[in-house]
Homo-oligomer: A and B are copies of this chain.
Amino acid sequence: MNSECVKKSNIQLKIEEYKTLTDSFLDKFLELRYPQIIWESVRYTVLSKGKRIRPAIVLESARVCGGKIENAIATACAVEMLHAQSLIHDDLPCMDNDDYRRGQPTNHKVYGEAIAVLAGDALLSLAPSAIVSSTPKGVKRETVLKILDEFLCAVGPEGLIGGQTADIISENQNVKPETLLYIHANKTGRLFEFSAKAGALIAEASAEKVEALAQYGKFIGYAFQIADDILDITGNIETIGKTPGKDVKSQKSTYPQLFGLRKSIDEVNDLCCKAVSILRDNNLESDFLGSTANDIALKVNEK
């Protein structure tokens, strides 16, 4: 194998290691208890197939800043729970009304709308609860509170929920570029930004490294969303795992729709380059974080 292949397979091993750690924590934290249906519903979405990319970023950011992985695992899993929460509520009939997600029926299709609403609510409390109850005592209490503060802001109406609100009220409307930017930055970007930043905070990294990783997260989060919109146009069901063309059909404003496909691809490339540069400029040596950025760019540049 050449060195590029070795590097690639090392990254693959790291992804699998992080995924195993994440799934094992989540499986235990969300173990079935009374009333069983709510835990089943929560587990159905949280533990469904998926790469666990956000928790992996938390864990790797902690590691690259010299922190202990075990100190970051609760926060990593909080991010994954919150991500699942946003999927469950976004798929509801009164929101995006989706029947399938990651190739399986959406939560409300299996458990009914009432339980799906409650499962999302449950995750909104379980996610910060994991940070509070399961972050090891070795982490300063001040740091735990700082992480919680950042997490709750990233989730709330000035973060993810704000982005989702702007998205909902923009449907079937001509969206201004700054509104689209707000939606992307908050609906997708904020959890990536938080993930990268939280790892650095847990590791008690310098303010410069915390800021650098936050920027890195922001760039790849934004790139991730634009790439998603591009693949909705250029991809097929096998490569993207869902039916393409949904945005056009639902008259959703997207980056490609506003700026064209070419400019969108250039923007993804530019954002991913910036993400990689910021790692290099701050001596954050992480093949995994670098390749995560590169992979996003690669996807939209594939024929």
Contact = CB atoms under 8 A, between A and B. Distances in A.
A126 interface: yes
A162 B114 contact: no
B152 A128 contact: yes
A89 interface: yes
Nearest to A168: B114
Oligomer copy total: 2
Given A125-B152, A157-B126, A115 B42 contact: no
Interface string A22-56: 00000000000111011100100000000000000
Interface in A115-150: 115, 117-118, 120-122, 124-126, 128-129, 132-133, 141-142, 144-145, 148-149
Question: Which residue, of A121, A141, A144, has the highest number of chain B Cβ atoms within 10 A?
Answer: A121
A162 B35 contact: yes
A161 interface: yes
A260 interface: no
A94 interface: yes
A157 B119 CA distance: 8
Nearest to A94: B113
A171 to B, nearest CB: 9
A122 B182 CA distance: 17
A203 to B, nearest CB: 19
Contacts of A149: 129, 132-133
Contacts of A126: 152, 156-157
A92 B94 CA distance: 11
B115 A161 contact: no
Contacts of A132: 145, 148-149, 152
A207 interface: no
Given A114-B94, A148-B148, A169 B37 contact: yes
Contacts of A142: 141
A38 B152 contact: no
A122 B34 contact: no
A158 interface: yes
Which of A115, A149, A157 is the most central at the interface, judged by chain B CB atoms within 10 Å of its CB?
A: A157
A296 interface: no
A168 B113 CA distance: 11
A161 B89 CA distance: 15
9 contacts: A34-B162, A38-B162, A89-B118, A117-B117, A118-B165, A121-B161, A124-B124, A124-B125, A129-B156
Closest 8 pairs between A and B when the two form their complex, measured CB to CB = A94-B113, A125-B156, A129-B152, A124-B124, A122-B157, A141-B141, A38-B165, A125-B155
